[in-house]
Amino acid sequence: MKLDHVAFQVSDMDRSLAFYTQTLGLKLMFDKISQEHRERFAFLALEGGNLELLEKHDEEGNPIPVGKGEPEPPYCPHVAIGTDNLDAVVETLEKNGIPLLKGPLLIENEVRWLYFCDPDNNVLEYVQWL
């Protein structure tokens, strides 16, 4: 296992991307818009992991302020752990009685993921890049 990414919700993606790429020098991996989920999300490369930025939109397409709207994953701070076998993770969680918050989900045949909580309700994600 390895750290895959840490995620933050942002209120202005363009401002955040400028900060992380121009000020801090991180490399933009991708910046996408999902009409289905009313969100814009970007991944930035870090050595040993990635940073995910999430900008959630309301029904009119306007960004939702940080801390407002959906408090559930992926729109909450979380740590993502990379795996090569998400099905084995699901089996392990089920055997240990750990409920899934969301998933397993698949996006664009590129990545599968799921969310669950640790004993202190910290949100964790397992992600499998296909």
Residue-range domains of the chain with CATH? 2-129 (3.10.180.10)
Question: Does the pTM of the predicted model rise above 0.75?
Answer: no
Peptide bond into 104 cis (omega under 30): yes
Task: Provide the percentage of residues in the chain whose pLDDT is more than 90.
Answer: 52
For the segment 52-75, the average pLDDT, to the nearest whole number, is 78
Following CA atoms 28, 100, 85, 125 in sequence, which dihedral angle do they give, to the nearest 10 degrees?
30
From the DSSP assignment, how many helices (H) and strands (E) are in the chain? 2, 8
pLDDT (tens digit per residue) in 19-36: 899 988 899 999 999 888
- Kindly report, residue by residue over 101-128, the tens digit of the pLDDT: 999 999 888 999 999 888 778 788 999 9
User: What is residue 36's predicted lDDT score, i.e. its pLDDT?
Assistant: 82
